[in-house]
Amino acid sequence: MNRDAFTADAPGELVSIRLPSRRPGGPWEEDWSFIPHPLPPDWEFPAQLWPLLAAAKERVGVLEGLSRLLPDPTVLLRPLVAREAVLSSKIEGTHVTPRELLLFELEGGPDDPDDAVEGESERRNARRETANLAGVLRVAAERGGRPLGLADLRGMHAALMAGVRGSDRHPGRFRTVQVSLGRDRKFIPPPPERLSDCLDAFGAYLTMSPRFQDPLVDAFLVHYQFEAIHPFEDGNGRIGRLLLALCFVQWGALTRPCLYLSPYFERFQQEYYDRLLAVSARGDWGGWIEYCLSGVVESADDTVRRCERLLAVRADFTRRVAAANGGARLVAVVDGLFESPFVRVAGLADRHGVHYNTALGDCRRLVDLGILEEVADLKPRTFRSPDLFHIAYDLTEPDGLVYTGT
C-alpha cells in the first residue's frame, strides 16, 4: 500500500505489517495497514451539499410513499431484490445473468449444498453465490427496523457463504488473518489483532442515539467504515451494500428496504472504489457523500419507475385474466410471476396441488393472454413472463420484447 498517498487528514492511522511475498518463495515483505478511527468522523457536512441532500430526501420520500401504497410490497419488490443480488455480485467479479439466477432458484438446488461444492462447475458455483445473496436479501427485507448488531452481520455472512467453493472463507466468522485489496495491495485493512477494537466501536455506532447526521448520510458513513474495516475474509462488499439498505430502514429513511444502490455502484464502479479510498487516504468525506447522494437520487427515481411499471403490469394482467373468466388459481399463478418471472410446469402443479396437465393448461391459457411465453429448448418445460423480466432487469434480448401495456 502506498504510504505516501495518505495525508495528515486521513481519518485513521497507518501501522507497519509483514505480508507474504507476492513472488512464489520470496521473503516476507514490509507493508502498511490502515486502521480507521471510530465513527463519527471529525467532519462537518458542507453547505454546498445541502441542495443535493434535500433532493435525495425528496426522492426517497416519493419512494416511501409509493411503497406504502403497494398492495403487496413483498411480492412487488422481490424482482428488485433479485436484480440487486445480480449486480452486487457483479461488482465483486461474480458474473451471473438474471436468467441464470432465476433458473437456478427454480431448480431449488441440492438438499445439502456442502455436498455439491466439490467438482461443481465454476458457472454453477457462481449461480449458487448469487442465489445465496438473493436469499439473504429476502430474509433481511423481513426484519423491519429492528436494531442491527455484529451478530446480525455474522449471520448474514454465514448465509451468504453457505455451500460455496472455498472452505477457508469461514462463513459467519470475523477474519483472523490479514487481507489486502487489489493485486497491487492498493488498500490493506486493519491487521487481525486490531480488528476486535475496530468492530467493538463499529457495533456501538450502529446502535448509537441520537444519530450524527441525517439518516442517509449516516448510512454512507457506516458503509465506508465497514468496507475500511473489512471484517470478513470474503463477501465484505456484498454484506456492506446490504447493510447500507438496512441502515436506511433502521434509521427511519424508509419503512422497508426498497432502495438498493448496487446498480449505481456497478455503473460507476471505478469511482466507487476511488471515492472509498479517497476517504481513507485524505479524509475526502465530502466527495464520498456527494457521490452517494447522487446515487440515491438516481436509484430512487429508477425504483419508483420500476414499481409504477410493475403496478401497471399487475393491473393489466388482472384485467386480462378477468376478461378471460380465469379463476382464483389462474390469478394465483399470475401473482406468483412477481416472485419469479420463470415458472416450470411441474413446480406449478406441486404448488397448486393439481395434475401436470392441468398446470400445463394454465400456462397455455396465459400464453394465449399474452402473459407467458414458453422458453424454447429448455427441459423440463418452462415458461416466462417477458414483460416482468424486462422491467426487473432492464434487458433487451434478441426478441426485442418490452412492456408497453394495454
The 10s digit of each residue's pLDDT in 156-215 is: 999 999 888 754 678 999 999 999 998 889 999 999 999 999 999 999 999 887 677 899
Domains of the chain and any CATH numbers:
42-305 (1.10.3290.10), 325-393 (1.10.10.10)
Q: Which of 230, 352, 355, 390 is catalytic?
A: 230
Grid coordinates belonging to 238: 456484498
| Spacing of C-alpha 285 from chain mean position | 23
Q: Exposed, middle or buried, 299 (CB in 10 Å: 0-12/13-18/19+)? A: buried
- Residue for grid cell 479510498: 277
Contacts 24+ apart (CB under 8 A), 315-320: 316/405, 316/406, 317/371, 320/369, 320/370, 320/371, 320/406
Task: Compute the distance between CA of residue 51 and CA of residue 179 in angstroms, rounded to an integer.
Answer: 39
Closest listed residue to residue 164, CA positions, set 188, 136, 139: 136
Which residues have C-beta within 8 Å of that of residue 178, sequence separation ≥ 6?
17, 19, 33, 188, 191, 192
- Residue for grid cell 432502495: 259
Task: Compute the distance between CA of residue 84 and CA of residue 140 in angstroms, rounded to an integer.
Answer: 13
Q: Has 230 been annotated as catalytic? A: yes
Query: 3-state secondary structure string, 30-69?
Result: EEEEEEECCCCCCCCCCHHHHHHHHHHHHHHHHHHHHHHH
The residue length of the chain stands at 406
Number of H-type helices and E-type strands within the chain: 15, 5
Grid coordinates belonging to 261: 444502490
Q: Is 238 annotated as a binding residue?
A: yes
Per-residue pLDDT of the chain (406 residues; tens, 9 = 90+): 899 999 999 999 999 999 888 788 788 889 999 999 999 999 999 999 999 999 999 999 999 998 888 777 766 678 888 889 999 999 998 899 888 998 998 887 533 444 444 445 788 888 998 999 999 988 887 877 688 899 999 999 999 998 887 546 789 999 999 999 988 899 999 999 999 999 999 999 998 876 778 999 999 999 999 999 999 999 999 999 999 999 999 888 898 888 999 999 999 999 999 999 999 999 999 999 999 999 999 999 999 998 899 889 999 999 999 999 989 999 999 999 988 899 999 999 999 999 999 999 999 999 999 999 999 888 889 999 999 999 887 643 333 333 333 3
Grid coordinates belonging to 336: 406468483
Peptide bond just before 263 cis, omega within 30 deg:
no
> Using an 8 Å Cβ cutoff, are 338 and 79 in contact?
yes
Grid coordinates belonging to 379: 427441459
Q: Is 235 annotated as a binding residue?
A: yes
> Using an 8 Å Cβ cutoff, are 79 and 98 in contact?
no
| Spacing of C-alpha 381 from chain mean position | 30
Q: Is 120 annotated as a binding residue?
A: no
Q: Is 95 annotated as a binding residue?
A: no
Q: Is 163 annotated as a binding residue?
A: no
Q: Is 240 annotated as a binding residue?
A: yes
- Residue for grid cell 414499481: 307
Sign of CA dihedral 228, 277, 273, 261: positive
